[in-house]
Chain A
Amino acid sequence: MKKILLATAASTLIASASYADEIKLGLMLGFSGPAESLAPDMAGGVRAAVKEISDSGKFLGGTTVALVEGDSTCTDAAVASSVAERMITSDGISGLIGALCSGATGAALTNVAVPNGMVMFSPSATSPSLTTIEDNGLFFRASPSDARQGQVMAESLLEKGVKSVAVTYTNNDYGKGLADAFESSYTEMGGTVTINTSHEDGKADYSAEVGALASAGGDVLVVVGYLDQGGPGIIRAALDTGAFDRFHLPDAMVGSSIEDRFGTEIEGATGQVPGSDSPGGEMLVAIGEANGYNGTAPYAPESYDAGALMLLAMQAAGSSDPQVYKDFVMGVANAPGEEIFPGELEKALDILAAGGEIDYVGGTAAELIEPGEAAGSYREIEVKDGKIVTVGYR
C-alpha cells in the first residue's frame, strides 16, 4: 500500500513537473467521412506550425507543445463531441484545433468546448450559422463564412452587369447556406434571383432540373454544387438544351476537372475560390515539402495559420490558460504590429516576449473580424480559352 501511494505521489510529481514545460494541443479533423481527403494535408499544416514553435525554444519560456490527435468525423455530432470531451478532460489540452466540417465543429463547440471554457479554432468550417453561435468568445476560424462568399459573389456579378440570375444548389447545409447568403446579398444590392432551387447529387440526368431553371430564366446560371457530383451534370444539361450559356461557379465548383470536361464550351464562365495574392502562400510550399505534406492543398494554409495563431496568442498572453489567451487571438492576427509570414514564427515569439506587437499574415493573409473569423479574401477566376485563369482578388 505504501508503495502504491509512493508511486502515485511520484507519478503526480512527474506529471505536474512535465506540465510546467509541456502543453498539449488537441487536433481533431474529419480523418474519416466525406471530406477525408482534405484532412491529411490540413493536419500537416497544423503539425508544421506547432513543430516550428515548439522547436524554437522560445515559446512561453521554453515550453514545448505536444499534439493530441483525434478523428472527429465530418457529420457525426456524437463522435465529434466525445473526442473533444476526451481531449479536454483526460488529455488536459490547452486549446483545440478543429474540426474540419461545420457540422462536427458546431456540435463539439456547443456541447463540449463552451461548457468547459476551451478555445476552439477551426481551419475550415465555413457555415454562416457559426458566426452567430453562442461561443463566449471561445471560437475562432481561419476560414471565412459562406455569408462572405455570397456577398463577394453578388458584388462580382453585379459589377459585370449581370442583373438577373438563376441559382441551383446542392441539397445540403453548404449548398443551401451559400445559396441563401448569395440570394439575400444579391437582391439587397438590386439584382434579381429568378429561382433558387436545389438539386440532388449523384443523378444521371438533370434535364428536369434545368427545365425548371430555364423556365425561370436569367442571364447567368449560378451552380452552387460539387465539382465531382451533380454540378457538371447541371452544366451539361443546360448547355445541351441551350437553356444557359453563361455560368458562375463558387468554390466547390472550381477545379481542373471542370476544364477537362467542358473546356471552351463554358468560355467566359466566372467564379471565385478562397485565396489571396499574399506571398505567404508561396512560402508554405517549402514548409510543406520540409514537413512532408502539400502546403497549398485546400485549407492546408488555413490549418497552419490556425495552429500558429493559437500558440502566438498564448505567447502574447503569457499564459496557456484558455480564459486568458482567448482575448489575445484577434490582437496577434490583425494590425498594428510587425507582419509575420510563414516560417517567421520564431521572430514573432521574440517580439511578443519583448512585449511588442505583431500582425500575423501567414499563408492566407489572415485578417480576423468579429466574432473571430477570417475576413475572407477570394481569388476571382474566369474560363478563358478553356482554361481557368485568375482575373483578380477581392
Chain B
Amino acid sequence: MDILNALVAFANFVLVPGTAYGAQLALGALGVTLIYGILRFSNFAHGDTMAFGTMFVVLITAAMKSVGISFGPLPTALLALPFAILCTMALVLITDRTVYRFYRKVKAAPVMLVIVSMGVMFVMNGAVRMIVGTDDRRFADGERFVITARDFKTMTGLSEGLAIRTTQVITVVTAILVVAALFWFLNKTRTGKSMRAYSDNEDLALLSGINPERVVTITWLIVAALATIAGTLYGLDKSFKPFIYMQLLLPIFASAIVGGLGSPLGAIAGGFVIAFSEVTLTYAFKKVVTYLGPDGWAPDGLVQLLSTDYKFAVSFAILIIVLLFKPTGLFKGKSV
C-alpha cells in the first residue's frame, strides 16, 4: 500500500489536467449558454469565435515580442489578451449587424438561426486558416512550470512526480476571476439585471422599457470576451490549431446542455462534469491500482475503461443520457 504515490499519480494525470480542461470548457460553455439565454439559439460559430479571438492573441503576442515587450515569468499572451478581446468584440458585432440582426427582425425560427450560425462558423474557420495558416502554433512563453515532475520527486522523495504548468494555474485563476466578475455583473448591475429579465421573459422585459438591441449588443460583447479568454487559455495550455476549436464545440455544447442551457452556473458545473468524465473514463488506472494494492502485485491489464480514442464519445454519451432523462440539465435550464 502506498497511498501517497497513488494520490500523486492520480493528481498528475487526472486531477490537474482535468481541472484545467474543465475551466476551459466552463468558460466556453458560459458563452454558449449566454447566447442561448438571450438570443435564443445554439451558436455553432462559438468554437470558431474562440479560434478567431485566439488568432488575434497569437498575432498581437508575436508583434509584442518583436518589439521586445514581455511579461516576465507570465506568458506575453496575457498582455495581448485585452487588445484581442477588443478585436473579437468588433468582429462579433459586425457579424451580428450583418447576419444575425436580419434574422432577428424577421423573427426567424431558432432552427434557422442555428443553420445560419453554422454558415458563420465555416466562414470564420476559413478566414482564420487563411490568416494564420493551419499549422500548430505555440505562443506560450515565460516560465513553463510552477513545479516540474523531477523537482517534485526530489523535494518529496516519492517515486511519482507531479507537474503543474504555469498555464494550468493561469487557466484556473483566470477562470475564477472571470466567472466572479460575470456573476457580479449579472446579479448586481442594472444592465446585468435587464439581461436576466430579457432572458426570463422577453415580452415582460420589453414592456418594462428594456432596449432589446442594447441587451443583445452587451451579450455579444461579453460572449466575445469569454470566447477569447477561453480560446487563449486552451491555446496556451495545449497549442493553437484552427481545427481544434471546431472539435471543441462538442464538449462545450455538452457542458452547456448538461448544466442546463441558459444557466450560467450550470455551464460551469457542466464543464467540470464533462472534463472529469472524459479524463477519468479514459485514464489507465494501472499505476494507481498497483500502488494501492498489496506489495508486489500489479494488475495484468491497464485498468482502463475506454481507450483514449473514445474521448469525444464520452461527452456525446453524457449528452444523450442527459437529454433523455433530464432535458433541462442539472441546473434547470431551458429544455432544448
Interface residue ranges, A against B (CB under 8 Å): 171, 195, 197-200, 202-205, 207-212, 214-217, 228, 233, 240-243
Contacts and interface: CB of A to CB of B under 8 A. Distances in A.
A207 B302 contact: no
A241 B13 contact: yes
Contacts of A208: 17, 278-279, 282-283, 308, 311
A198 B163 contact: no
18 contacts: A197-B307, A202-B241, A204-B240, A204-B241, A207-B13, A207-B17, A208-B279, A208-B282, A211-B308, A215-B303, A216-B284, A217-B287, A228-B136, A240-B163, A241-B12, A241-B161, A242-B149, A242-B153
B218 to A, nearest CB: 31
B302 A242 contact: no
Nearest to A210: B13
Contacts of B114: none
Contacts of B244: 203-204
A216 B286 CA distance: 7
Would you call the interface of chain B mostly helix, strand, loop, or mixed? helix
B148 interface: yes
Contacts of B135: 228
Given A210-B13, A211-B14, 6 more contacts: A204-B234, A204-B240, A211-B282, A212-B307, A216-B284, A242-B161
B238 A214 contact: no
Nearest to B244: A204
A202 B149 CA distance: 26
Given A207-B13, A241-B13, A242-B12, A215 B241 contact: no
A217 B290 CA distance: 12
B163 A242 contact: yes
A212 B309 contact: no
Interface string B158-198: 00010101000000000000000000000000000000000
Say whether chain A's binding surface is mostly helix, strand, loop, or mixed: mixed
* Range, interface on chain B: 35 or more
**5 closest Cβ pairs, A-B complex:** A242-B149, A215-B284, A242-B161, A204-B238, A211-B13
A343 B336 CA distance: 72
A200 B284 contact: no
Contacts of A242: 12, 148-150, 152-153, 161, 163
Nearest to B245: A204
Contacts of B165: 240
Nearest to B243: A202
Contacts of A216: 284, 286, 302
Nearest to A242: B149
B161 A212 contact: no
A41 B27 CA distance: 48
A199 B285 CA distance: 19
Contacts of B150: 242
Given A203-B244, A204-B241, A233-B239, A212 B149 contact: no
B304 interface: yes
Contacts of A207: 13, 17
Given A241-B13, A242-B163, A212 B284 contact: yes
Interface in B239-275: 239-241, 243-244, 247
Nearest to A236: B239
A242 B303 CA distance: 21
Contacts of A200: 309
Interface in B299-326: 302-304, 307-309, 311
Nearest to B145: A240
